[in-house]
A and B are shown apart, each in its own frame.
Chain A
Amino acid sequence: MDYRALVEQVIKDCLKRGAEQAEVYLEDNRQLNLDIRNGQVESIQEAQSYGLGIRVIAGKRLGFAFVNDLKAESLKKTVDRALELARAVSPDENNQLPVEAGETEVKGLYDPQLQTVAVERKLSLIKEVESLALKKPGITKSAGASYSENESLILIASSSGWVKSYKSTGCGYGLGVIAEKGEQKSSGYESCSRRYFSDLKPAEELASKAARQAVEMLDPRPIKTQRAAVILDPEVAYAILGGIVQAINGQRVLQGASFLGKRMGQKIGSELMTIIDDGTREKGLASAPFDGEGVPTQTRTIIDRGVLQGFLYNAYAARRAGVKSTGNASRRSFSELPGIGPHNFYLAAGKTSPEEIIKSTSRGVLVKEVTGYGINPVNGNFSGGAAGFFVENGKIVFPVKGITIAGTADEMFNGLDLIGNDLDLNRTMTAPTIRIKSLQIGGE
């Protein structure tokens, strides 16, 4: 199907029928999911699907309609629906589609080989990772292994006078294993996602990591409720970054619903803390030439050595704030209006090795798993469930489970006193190992 001609036609229709501005967001996806367990195929799922969303502005009012039926008659009805809704809502002078032409050059978003790799090869990869893990000492059961891939085409046409599009691929695989000992059960999960099939990590690496995770957490011991150092493993980066991402959301800031809203240009944390949002990284899983409404992506420093430098904006929130869009319009699907979200979002690496961080900790917890919502973006309070290892006199002494950690964003950001050199940029939200001087830990 000639999508370009189709979306251009829809824009014309919108304008003809009374829209002052119009945008069409079209998505075409091919998807493959494979699950195996105990060496047997459990499920195979494959499909191709598409859909488009039409955003119109008329009299400063915004209407949006989406559909996954691309026949002319159905598209016409969808345009009418969007215009009808635009008449119902409130006028808002910030309703203005972005005008930015152009795209950022981002390499490595599309793996032309992905589709040509045989399904059997992908199946044998997950069978291999599972069988390797099941051979590890202490592992008693498989919780299954999965492979999934996606190939998508995104096309945005705007009455601002452009049509932009890009193709991308993503693939990933992972496994879950269980270690049992008497009545005890402990699970370990590991996965790897990449743009290119050939960049996926070897099965042995994933298998060992999942198995180690399950086995090393057996025989946990209780600890007393106490204040102590908290070392966050890269696995739990979201515990600190998740709340920040929401708190720097420009729309939230405008609404007064962010604990960082009034702190632009101020020192909010330790000098060791630098946070980057990068939409341009080669082969980055959250990279793209433009954002969810066509604005070119960029690389921005959000926090520079502890000083808050930037919020994230889409076109609407930017206009309202009197700034330019930062290229952070997020769109998870054709059925959604653009929201605001990060690209490859990470805490910059420091100089200390993770081993040294542990070695220099007299008493604390090395946290491998955090559950809960992370930092509350409204008021900065943090509380989560945790599991990991108790550290004493620079050594890991035993695993701990069922503990809690709690504090405030202030305590966490200012308490950052060691940053690891082990940053893995092949994740979308990532941090190296970090240490927070002291937090409240809940135990016995």
Chain B
Amino acid sequence: MTNFFPESKPMGRRKFMTLGLQGAVAMALTPTMVRALLAGGNQAKLEVPPELLQKVITSALKRGGDLAEVYVENRISRTILLEEGKFKSAVFGLVGGAGVRVIDGDKTGYAYSDEVTEEKLLRAAEVASFIASSGKKIKPVNIKEQKRPSYVTVKIPLEEVAEAQRMEIMKRAEDAALSYDPRIKMASIDYYDETRDRLIANSEGLLVKSSLPLIFFIVQTLAVGNGSSHMGRERLSRHAGLEMFEEESPEKAAKEAARESIAMLEAKEAPAGKMDVVIQNGWGGVLVHEAVGHPLEADNIARQTGAFVGKLGKKVAADIFTMVDDGSLPGFRGTTDFDDEGTQMKRNVLIQNGVLVKFMTDILSARQLKMERTGNGRRESFRYYPIPRMTNTFIEKGQDKPEDIIASTKSGLYVQSLTGGSVDPTTGVFNFTCREAYLIEDGQKTVPVRGATLIGSCLDIITRIDAIGNDLAFGPGICGKGQSAEVTAGQPTVRIRGINVGGTRQRA
């Protein structure tokens, strides 16, 4: 896969590890790419007998602990790359395994295995159990399978789709991109799909299973002209079968990427310094994902290090600002039936009319903070233990018409799309890179300007949001926090007063 826009990782405290060990460490510290599962082929891995699960849980608790859990996973994946007019490669993957976790007070013990056999599971339980030292013994509740509602429906199952059908969709996108304008010199279409099967059992008696399909479709286009080049991008993603492309047209995505790359060929220097910024609806919500979302993840709060420590119940943002994380939005990229600890997904209002009302928890941080479990315990694969993560995170829609927001902005920057960004959750200092932006002059969107960085601090920025549109929309993305997670970010058109923009031009 050619990745022209490496997704930025938020600055977690594991960052230094992954950076420092590049090259030295291969699989363990490389996130991504844990994939696979051939329908019918290795399904058996998820057919772990309940008696064995019970035995592993009991064994994991032999030195004590508050919770023991077994997580079994299988992933089938396909990746196809169409670039420069050729289907350059096709990749099929099948990866499965299981992890055993023990929580004892604030401590977590974790071990995993590629093989889901009694011997390996008991060995993992043994390793995970070493962490326990409190001597606190609990008796595990007998597991019993529970049926859960699903927020994902499938009409055309991925395993019934021939490669040729996937490739035809890719070709449609490529044709649409290349015929958009002669200045489009190259199109790159990445197609990825997976089916991820999970089984989660724990000492609270939980036993849940689910199978989730996911499609991720990325169009990138290179425009060359006017002495410049620009790579445009558009992404589609859903938990769905191939019917996703009936609702989300590959041609439309391709034209959008092409439109962006052509528009940005005319980009002028961006101004530098503080100014008012209007951010278009959709993926622009990544700004609050980073700036506000990460600091609202409860692990920072339980550690007493986060920017929002001590702010629960307090007014932290403007009255018009309501922010939600909802992992149950049907078919969305950040949605699952239940999180990777088996907690039911639901709508969680985090900030209500400017008042901080909830943090996003996993089992551990919910225990530590004596808060409810919000369904945010997520993990990249069985090779990771879960941590609090966002799902589908967005600013709730407001009253303003988007055109009125622009018209009432005397001068500033209109950000049509953002590439991504990062945040230090301790200090709340964040940054974003604009993909497509325009000047606002006398209430009008005027000339395009080059990709500038926007920076600020989370506690400050949410007090500066003074207009929120009625046009809520979403965009799919990848979030990194030592491990990667599928998310969507959403927002209506919003205006932020006085944000620092990193352009190259000194303003008059």
Contacts and interface: CB of A to CB of B under 8 A. Distances in A.
Bind each other: yes
A106 to B, nearest CB: 12
B433 interface: yes
Contacts of B131: 41, 43-44
A66 B91 contact: yes
B108 A42 contact: yes
A393 B350 CA distance: 48
A294 interface: no
Given A189-B16, A406-B452, A67 B304 contact: no
How many chain A residues sit at the interface, stated as a range, is 35 or more
A317 to B, nearest CB: 11
A43 B504 contact: no
B89 A402 contact: no
A360 interface: no
B268 to A, nearest CB: 12
Contacts of B36: 66-67
A403 to B, nearest CB: 7
Contact of B88 (A78, A90, A343, A385): A90
Contacts of A403: 455, 500
Interface in A409-444: 427-428, 440-444
B17 A174 contact: yes
A193 interface: yes
Interface in A246-286: 251, 255-257, 259, 284-286
Given A187-B427, A334-B27, A285 B21 contact: yes
Given A85-B92, A406-B452, A141 B304 contact: yes
Interface string A43-75: 111111111000000000011111111000010
A332 interface: yes
Contact of B453 (A40, A152, A187, A384): A384
Interface string B279-318: 0000000000000000000000001110100000000000
A90 B88 CA distance: 6
A227 B270 CA distance: 14
Given A256-B185, A384-B431, A66 B94 contact: yes
A84 to B, nearest CB: 8
A29 interface: yes
Interface in A185-234: 185-187, 189-193, 195, 225-227
A146 B185 contact: no
B61 to A, nearest CB: 16
B23 A428 contact: yes
Interface string A373-411: 100111101011101000000000000011111111000
For the residues of A in contact with B, the DSSP-based class is strand
Interface in B455-508: 455-457, 500-507
Interface string B424-436: 1011011111000
B89 A337 contact: yes
Given A143-B303, A441-B272, A256 B186 contact: yes
A185 B307 contact: yes
B84 interface: yes
Given A45-B385, A50-B114, A335-B35, A371 B455 contact: yes
A96 interface: no
A408 B422 CA distance: 22
A85 to B, nearest CB: 4
A251 B426 CA distance: 39
Given A154-B26, A442-B501, A178 B426 contact: yes
Interface stretch (B48-56, B223-231, B341-349): B223-231
A440 B505 contact: yes
B176 interface: no
Contact of B500 (A41, A189, A226, A404): A404
B2 interface: yes
A314 interface: no
Contact of B96 (A69, A88, A257): A69
Contacts of B127: 46-47
Contact of A68 (B92, B107, B114, B426): B114
Contacts of A334: 27
B146 interface: no
B167 to A, nearest CB: 7
A90 B504 contact: no
Contacts of A256: 185-186, 222, 224, 229
B501 A29 contact: no
Contacts of B65: none
A74 B38 CA distance: 10
Interface in B377-410: 383, 385
A234 B133 CA distance: 42
A77 interface: yes
Residue among B110, B422, B451 with max Cβ neighbours from chain A (10 Å) = B451
B207 to A, nearest CB: 23
A94 B408 CA distance: 56
Nearest to B275: A442
Contacts of A50: 114
A43 B365 CA distance: 13
Contacts of B108: 42-45
B217 interface: no
Contact of B431 (A85, A88, A385): A385
Contacts of A154: 26
B25 A62 contact: no
A335 B34 contact: yes
Given A144-B303, A146-B17, A189-B16, A335 B93 contact: yes
Interface in A336-375: 336-337, 343, 371-373
Contacts of A63: 89-90
Nearest to A283: B24
B501 to A, nearest CB: 6
A31 interface: yes
Given A37-B303, A185-B426, A185-B427, 6 more contacts: A31-B25, A68-B95, A191-B19, A255-B84, A383-B502, A385-B429
10 contacts: A46-B110, A47-B127, A49-B97, A66-B94, A68-B96, A85-B92, A88-B90, A88-B164, A150-B28, A185-B307
Q: Which 8 A-B pairs have the closest CB atoms?
A: A404-B502, A170-B24, A193-B20, A286-B23, A191-B16, A31-B28, A442-B272, A150-B25
